[in-house]
Amino acid sequence: MADDALSERVPDAPAQQMPSRIRIPLIVIAFAAAFWLLRETASVIMPAACALLLALAVWPLSDAIRESMPARLRWVGALAGLLVVLTILVAFLFGIGFVGAQIFDLLSSLAPRL
């Protein structure tokens, strides 16, 4: 008798009961809202994502150095990771400066022709 009660029970999932004429526009609206949210928060999400990826890239080096050091010098692994990150940052800024100088030289050579 308990089995009959379970077999007659309707599932509670609202997505299965919702008609497709309502479900499909809701899915489209949800995707549009998600893309809008990503676009509006890109100035926060992009630096955070870059920082996360950079930390994940440096983590194995920092961990390997920390494990090879004695207990009193385990902080050297974190210092090595920090130095790698700073080196990457300085190289990036140097590259931006180099490209800026190239563009300035190009524009100053084209200025008399304009």
Give the pLDDT band (50/70/90) at residue 41.
very high
Mean pLDDT confidence for 12-38: 83
pLDDT tens string 47-81: 999 999 998 999 999 999 999 999 999 999 999 99
Would you say 63 and 80 are in contact if contact means Cβ atoms under 8 Å apart?
Answer: no
pTM listed for this prediction: 0.57
Cβ-based neighbour number of residue 62 at 10 Å: 20
CA separation for the pair 110, 102 (Å, rounded):
12
> Taking Cα atoms as reference points, which of 85, 86, 83, 80 lies closest to residue 61?
80
